[in-house]
Structures are given as C-alpha cells and as structure tokens.
A and B are shown apart, each in its own frame.
Chain A
Amino acid sequence: MGKKRILVIDDEENIRILYKENLEDEGYEVILASCAEEANTKMKESYPDLVTLDIKMPEMDGIEFLRKLRESDKNIPVVMCSAYGVYKQDFRVWASDAYVVKSSDMRELKSTIKEILKRKKDLK
C-alpha cells in the first residue's frame, strides 16, 4: 500500500513547511498549495487522499473553496484549520469532515487526519 497523499492549503509559507515536515514524519506524502487556484491544479494533478484547508485565505475564503470542492468531489475528506474556535458553530463548516483549531501543538491535527483516513479505509 502506497503512501497516503495530503494536500495542505494555506497562504502562509511557514505554516505549509511546518505541516509538511510534521505530516511527512507521520509517513504521508505532502503536497502544498498557497491559494485556491493552485489547489485546484494540484487536485487534478495528484488526487490527494485528504485536504487540510485554512479557513481564512486571502483571494478565496476557505469555506467558499470547500463548497466548490464538494461540488466536484463529494468524497474527498477535508480538515478545516483555523485560528478561530468560533467557526465550529458555523454550519457551513459541517460540510468538512473535521475542524481543527490551529496550534503549534500538531498532535490534534495528526490524530484527526489519522482517524479520518482510517475511517475511509474501513469504509472501502
């Protein structure tokens, strides 16, 4: 079984690097995108197994991107990441599979990803 591929979408380069390093350590293959447009191309090129999405990206709001993504691919799991805890109450976020408040402690993100991918595998 090959490595799971994760697409990390975030407008901040340092965050992308941090996520990449952490997730690669977990044994994933990590692809990065800094904006919605780039993310679209990457999606088509490399068919990721999971997407992490920053809710507040410039150009396109993460939630708007999620809506579009759901229209083209109903099944791909999406983990929303944000600085706010408030978004948990926003019903549009329910369209994602999980919601993680950004933190320097990556354990929550890692365990969430692991959990989702496992669930997906079990379903198959």
Chain B
Amino acid sequence: MKTVRSKTYSISKRLKIPQNIHENYWLGILNEVSRITSLTLELDKRLKLIVEVIVQQTGADACSVLLMDEEKKNLILKATKGLNPMSIDKIRLKVGEGITGWTAQEKKVVALSDASKDPHFIYFPGSEEERFKSVLSVPILENNKCMGVIYTQTFNERDYTENDIKLLTTIANHVSWMIKNSMLYDKAVRRLSELSILYEISVAMQTTVNLDKILRMILGCVTAGDIFGFNRAALFLVNENTKSIQGMLGLGPDSGEEAGEIWSRIPKIKDLSQWLISQGDILAKEESQFDKFIKGIDIPITAGSGVLALTILEGKPFNIKDARNDSRVNRNLIDKLGVNSFATVPIITRNQVVGIIAVDNLYTNKPITDEDLQTLVRFSTYVGWAIENSRLFSKLRDANKEILLFQQQLIQSERLAALGELAAELAHEIKNPLVTIGGFARRLLEKGNLMSEERKYSDIIINEVERLEKLLKDILNYSRDIRPKFSENDINTLIEEVLSFHGRVFNESGIEIKKELSGEIHPIHIDLPQIRQVITNLFYNAVESMIGKGGIISVKTEPLSGEEGVTISISDTGGGIPSEILNNIFNPFFTTKKDGTGLGLSLSRKIVESHGGKIEINNRIGEGATFIINLPWKNRQEQKPD
C-alpha cells in the first residue's frame, strides 16, 4: 500500500513543457472533451469518444473508463481505446480490487511507471493489458462519491507529472458531470416512460371493469419487457371474511425457453394499451403451472406466516435479496417458487391494504433494484384504483340487478291487477251468452225427444260450455290464485282425448299429427281440466301458426329427467315465434291474432306453475316452435296445508 502511495505524486523529469504551451495544449484537449460531453449521444458512445481523444492527444497508449454498477460494488469496463474492445462490459472488478479498484475505494489518484510491479496489479485475461507498463488511474468523483475510474496506460514505463495528473483529473471531472447529467436524463426518460406507461395502462384498464381481466392486465404490465421486465409476477387479494391472503393470478413462463419466446412478443410502449387489452382475453386461456400454483395459495394474515402477510400487516414493500437466509420468509413457499430473491408491494386503496403484487426474476437472475421497487410502488397505486373501481362496479351491478328484479316483480303484479279488472269485465261479457248456450242445450236434452245424434251434439255443447265456464271462473280468480284440484291421471290418455276431440280441426287445416307417446310414464297428480286446457291452448296455437299452409304437429311425452314426472312437447312447423315478440308471448292479452285474447299462454303458464311445473320454448325461427311442459309427479306444495 505504501509503495503505491509513495509514487502517487511522482513528477516526471523527462517532459518539461513550457507553461504557455502547456495551457494551449490543455485547452485543446479540454475543449474537445467538453464538446463531446455535451453531445446528445448515449453515455457509452460519448465515453468512447473521450478515451479516443485522450489517447490521441496525451501520448497515452491506452485509455479506459470503468463505471460503478448500481449496487456500488463492482466496476465495469465501459469504454476503452487500446485494450481489447471485446472486454467492454465483461471486465468487472470489485471495489478495492486491483489498481483501479483501489483508486475507486480510496478515491485517490494512482500513478505508476510500472504497474506490474505493484502488489495490487491484477491481470485480466483477454484484455491484452499485459502489453502495458505505466498506469495513471484517476477516480471519477461526484460529491465525494466514486462513480468510476478513468485511467491511461503506456507501453513503456512512464513517470507521470503533476500536470498529467491534473489534466486527467480535470477530464475526470468533466466525465463525472457528464455521467451525472446522463443519469438525470435517464431518470427523466424513465420517469417519462413510466408516466406514459401508466397512461397506457389506465387507458387499457378503462376498457373493462371485469376484475379478472384487470388483474391480467396488471400482471401483463409487470412482466412486460419494456416496462418492469420482471420474469414472473403474482397477484394476491385479501379476503376480509377469512382474514387470509388468496392467490388470484400468476403470470410468467414455466421455463426459460418459454420465457424468451414470450418476451420477444412483448411490444413497444406505443401499442401497449392495445397489447394489454388483448392480454386480458388471451392470457385467460393460457393457464401456466405457475398460475395454478399461485391460485392455490391461501395464507392467514398473521405475523409469523411470511413476507406476504408482513406486506399486508405493515403496508410497505419488501425487497428480499437472500430469501434462504431471511427469517421473515416462508420456507415452504420459497422452495416451491424456486427463487432466492423476490419483492412484494402492497396494493393500497383508501388506506387499506387490499392485496399484493409479488415479483421475481427466476430466469434472468437480474437483481431487483430499489428503483424497480419504487416504480412498482407507484404502479400499485394505479392497481389499487383499478381494483377498487371494478369492485365498486360489480357492487353497483348487483344493486342494479336487484332493482331490475324488483321492478319486474312490480310490473308482474301490476299486470296481474290490471288483468284482474279486465278479467271481471270479460267474464261478465262472455258469461251470459255462455249461460244461454249451455242452458238451452240442456233444455234440448231435457225435452227428451232427441235423436241419438242430436243428443250426442247437445252433450258436446254442454260439456264444452261447462269447460269454458270453469275457465272463466279461473280467469276471475287469476289475480288471486288458481288452486288446482289434484287427482291421478294418465297424460297420454288426456292427450289422446284432446286430439280426438279436435280431430276435425286438424283435418280441415291440413295438419298431420305425429305422436310419440312414451309407455314409460306413470299417472301423475294434476288438475285434469286445467291441464287439458293447457294442452288444448298449445294445440290451438300450433294450428294457428300454420293456418293456410298446413304442416305437422308432433306431440311427444317422455319421463321427466332427474325426478319423477312427465315432459310433454308440442312442436309445429309454423315458422316459429319472431324474436322481437318472444319476450311478450306469456304476457296476458298479448296477441298477434285478429281475434285472439292473448290469454292462452299466460294462463297456461300460470296453471303449469301452480302444478309445480315449468313451461319452456324451443324456438326455431323459420322452422317452428316447440312448447315443452315439465310436470312433476306430484306438486310439492300440494302436500302443504292451507
């Protein structure tokens, strides 16, 4: 150490240059250097120009610049003239290591006429340093902190003069200023790109309130090469109910090769928002092993359960650099993740920690810097906002749904009330003529002097009138309830009866009936007249859909799937129900027919529902409609007392 120091200020005896020449010569070099420092070029390129000028103008055979890395632990060769240019970025030495390392550590100038004799000398293979003898090494200082080292070398031994040292020190000051500015510039650029990234992200996030999509976009950002460039990212949300942290999403390739492939697909900032929007959809389909693993994570929020819990509890980021030797880390988890360093950042909305973003660099092993972490913290504010937004929205949507449902119920009950009034009106109008028709048919029968045919017809009239009267009574009771009178009946028999009763109508309308009545069905509990009414309504609708064209009515019965009961389907070939009216056909009084009442389907549904059943439509526009009635073997409500 002493030997080095003793030579530090050794003054050259050979070079005796007059003062004025000296100044001119100095001014020339410094002019050139300051011109270079102010060029709008990348730092590395400007350093290269500077070392070239120094070699050209100072008689040195080599000049190189080493810069301190971000961790301030290593010096890295950034520019050289004279050494092997291939070693740029490759030569790394620890602070304190070698002559230049010593310069950096001590922040002092070292001038040696023959470096190889110095105990600090280290030879870097491939650098071709072995060709040089003398070294002048000057620290690049900024605020008394060392940012790097600039040094010159000569093939022959050389004693450096005070002037030589002053010159290189002045140049080092220029370089220091240049580095500082370029760092500020880099920061500004970084900040700017961060801002535009955040802008792009918010544009992308505004396209959806779907939480899952938003989470995918968020992690898409975190792993995109141009932005944060983390190899993998995971998102966790706090479950308030179970007081635990739940893995929501993990994004990242499962292997190194896959990683390379994915990263090459990631675009420049310009189309970032587009890319992110597409990520929301695309990534949903590609579930990785990592994603599965993350989704399975559920950790209690207690102090002892690892860094994730700590992030929530303390509401601050963690940058874990050596996980295996860090007592805060959950061993089990880190082993499964296979990394030794990772970082976590809390997602905070309204002073509450709602989740965590966790990142690592499994494939590149790139250390996570505090600056990365700061950016991630700023980003997580956006994330919190987006999550909050989406949660508020889904709450709103739920509330909305409820209101809608309520509204529909209201409309339904209003409809029923209106129906009640109208029905009363209607009943009165129809009832009187009906009473007369039926009444006189009875009188005919009572007269007793009828031929057997006339007697049969009167019977039919009387029966049908009775059915209509019953129906009217039901309509009158519509707004209260139709309580069916149940008895066991065979549906197939009922269908046959209705078909033969209306056989003439089908014949005259050119309609063919296709039956497929299952032998597997058992008698079920129904109110016979009511179900007869339903089936008749559906047959008439089918017939009416094919008026003037003819067609086929297919009627089918089969056992109800899942429980005991019967499914009845009635299909027609009448072209189906136009989609714009499909929502209305069950509304009372909705009709498209000149002399329809519009009560057929609404009543049918009411009846089927009072049997505990369901009525559904399979509508095939352009072809026909199928009405499907599901009737349980027994209505569960039937057993309930009044």
Contact = CB atoms under 8 A, between A and B. Distances in A.
B585 to A, nearest CB: 28
A102 B436 contact: no
A89 B365 CA distance: 87
A115 interface: no
Contact of A104 (B442, B446, B473, B476): B442
Contacts of A86: 424, 476
B452 interface: no
B465 to A, nearest CB: 5
A106 B442 contact: yes
Interface residues of A, number: 18
B622 to A, nearest CB: 44
Contacts of A106: 439, 442
Interface of A: 12, 14-15, 18, 21-22, 25, 56, 83-86, 101-106
B482 interface: no
Interface stretch (B425-433, B502-510, B597-605, B631-639): B425-433
A22 B436 CA distance: 12
Nearest to B432: A12
Contacts of B442: 104-106
A31 to B, nearest CB: 19
B435 interface: yes
A101 B442 CA distance: 17
Given A104-B465, A104-B469, A105-B466, A84 B424 contact: yes
Interface in B425-457: 427-428, 431-443, 446
A83 B428 contact: yes
Contacts, number: 56
26 contacts: A12-B432, A14-B433, A18-B436, A18-B440, A18-B443, A22-B439, A22-B443, A56-B428, A83-B431, A83-B432, A84-B424, A84-B427, A84-B428, A84-B476, A85-B476, A86-B476, A101-B473, A102-B432, A103-B438, A104-B436, A104-B438, A104-B441, A104-B465, A104-B466, A104-B469, A106-B442
Contacts of B441: 104
Contacts of B469: 103-104
B437 A104 contact: yes
A107 to B, nearest CB: 10
CB-CB nearest 8 A-B residue pairs: A104-B438, A83-B431, A14-B436, A18-B439, A83-B428, A104-B439, A104-B435, A12-B432
B379 to A, nearest CB: 70
B421 to A, nearest CB: 11
A22 B440 CA distance: 10
Nearest to A83: B431
B427 A104 contact: no
Contacts of A84: 424, 427-428, 476
Contacts of A102: 431-432, 435
Contacts of B435: 15, 18, 102-104
Contacts of A22: 439, 443
A61 to B, nearest CB: 13
Contacts of A83: 427-428, 431-432, 472
